[in-house]
Structure formats: structure tokens, C-alpha cells
Amino acid sequence: MLAWLKPGDPLYSAARRVAECIRNAKSEATRRAYAADWRDFSCWCQQNRLAFLPATPETVALYIAHLSKPEGNEKPRTVATITRRLSSINTMHKAARYRPPAKMDDPVLAETYHGICRLLGTRQQRKQPLTLDKIVRLLDAVRTTDLPVAGARDRALILVGFVGAFRRSELAAMRVEDLVRHRRGYTIRIPRSKTDQTGEGREVEILYGAQERTCPVLALENWLESGAIREGFVFRQVGLYGELRGGLSPAAVAEIVKRLVRRAHLETPENYGGHSLRAGFVTEASANGASDREIMRQTGHRSRAMIDRYARAEQRDRQSAVSKLGV
């Protein structure tokens, strides 16, 4: 990008700023995903002696056909993953000033992609919500044999994640400097999130609970006190001997939830993950009469579509329970 500008040129610093702005146009997570996608595509092309930059639509069609039904023990990629791979391939070609080869104006590629969608289906596999009764079972699953500091972290993570309806990435990025203590609990500022890439930020309320056992404020303060955490990341890694390390990654947040789900012996534990805390808040709040507007103010959702999705799931559960009464 503007490589003809050299140090000393009056516009050199501006050109570097242009490059920086282009990098920041996408989140770090998106850039990592695109880079991984491009490595996979380019390696596959090299293994099959095909050009990858520039690539042809026919090459891309062969690649996504491979992803939909790979050889050996590999699992087929989902439609969502394949769609992102196409976007990554186009992005890399645009950056190199080549025509994007993964556009659906090519009939062979378009028919291949639509055939894969019909074969694999496009419905997303959604994580099951962790409602309050299940949250209590997870809290009970924090073993007394665990390190006390690790147990304090896990309880705080579960309760704050559930009551705040946080994404796992938001829990991982949460910092002590973002916590504002007040009479009723905490206001937690989220500087940036998945649907807020420009950094407008939003505030989430965490209030004292009616019961000590499930109070997110007490759990959070117990964790901060146990770990003597005064600044930096709120949720940390805990070493073998109870020493605190760096902040948790979003994947680590999800793994803690999954570990407790397995310990709690919930049905189909593979259907739960980091998003289950957020989904559980929506389901529980909806069932208890919270309005869509109130729920959306807490979750940061921009539309009612996701709220309706969980409300319908909760309605189906109630109908299923009624149908089993035998009346």
C-alpha cells in the first residue's frame, strides 16, 4: 500500500497511517481468522499444484468441495466456515490488487457453493442456555478439592457472565479499571465488543442478588480479594499452586464453562459453551417478564431477532413440560 513512498517523503507518515487504518478496519480476531484461512487455502493449493495468488474460481470451487467432504478422518467444515474462507480468499486477493476469485458471479463456483449449502444445511448449531437452575448446579460443581482461588474465580466468572449477559470475549477482556462500585453493586464498562467495532462502548449493571449463594457482586468481590487483584484483567489464569498469571483467553472462558457443565452432569454437555451464559440470561429474563427493551439494554443486542430466538426456545420447553402432565 503506497509502497512507492519512502522515508523522508512529506507523505510518508500519512501513508503509514493509511496502512494502520486499513489494519484496524477489521478486529484482531477477524484478522487472525483470515490469516489462518489463507494459510489453509494456500497450503492446499500448493499440495495440489494449483496457483493460489491469483487463484481461479475453478480452483476455489475445488477447494470448497474438498472442505465439504475432506479425505481421511477430517470432519466436513460447516457452511459458516466455508463462507468465511471465501471471504478470506477474496480479501487477500483485493489486498494484492487481484480480482477476487470467490465471487458468486462465476456459475461453477456459485453452483458448487449452493450445492454444499443444500448438502450440509445452513442452520447454526446454537449453544444451550444456562438458566438459573443450571447455574446453581454449576456452582455446586466447583469442587472443594480445587484450589480456593480457582474456585473463587470460577464462581465469579459464572455469575458475572450470567447476570451481565457477557460474551466470552467481553469476560476475557474485562479490566478492574472498567469496574465502577456503587451502592447497589457495580457498573461495568465494555469499551468494545463484537457488535461495537468502533469502540462506542456500553455499560452493564451487576447488582446484589437476593441470595448470597448466587450473588454476582459478592462472588466478584471474593475473587478480587482472593487474588489480591487491584488492576489489569479481572479474570486470570490460575497456576498449579494457586499463583495468578495472565488474563484468560475467550477459549479458556468457554473451557471453564464446559468443564463445570461436565462436572454438573448436565444432559448433552457438548451443547454448552461460553455463549450459554449469555443465552441463559436472555431465556431466564424473558421467562420472568423482562421486556425486550430491558433485555437488550443489558445484552447490547441491536435487534430483537436473538431475543425472540431464545424466548421461543423457552416457550417450547414449557409446552413440552405441559404435554407430559398426562392431563
The whole-angstrom separation of Cα 94 and Cα 88 is 10
Quick check: 79 and 120 in contact, CB under 8 A? yes
16, 20, 21, 24 alpha-carbon torsion, rounded to 10°: 170
The whole-angstrom separation of Cα 173 and Cα 167 is 10
The whole-angstrom separation of Cα 136 and Cα 131 is 9
Cis peptide bond N-terminal to 148, omega within 30: no
Quick check: 206 and 163 in contact, CB under 8 A? yes
Catalytic-labelled residue, pool 77, 167, 168, 236: 167
Catalytic-labelled residue, pool 93, 155, 168, 275: 275
Catalytic-labelled residue, pool 194, 304, 316, 318: 194
Burial label for 313, CB within 10 Å (0-12, 13-18, 19+), is middle
Q: Is there a catalytic annotation at residue 278?
A: yes
Read off φ and ψ for residue 236, nearest 5 degrees: -120, 165
Angle at 119 between CA 117 and CA 122, to 5 degrees: 40
Q: Is there a catalytic annotation at residue 293?
A: no
Quick check: 33 and 84 in contact, CB under 8 A? yes
Q: Is there a catalytic annotation at residue 275?
A: yes
Backbone Cα Rg of the chain: 24
Position 167, amino acid:
R
Q: Is there a catalytic annotation at residue 310?
A: yes
How many residues are given for the chain? 327
Q: Is there a catalytic annotation at residue 94?
A: no
Quick check: 129 and 276 in contact, CB under 8 A? yes
Q: Catalytic positions, please?
A: 167, 194, 275, 278, 301, 310
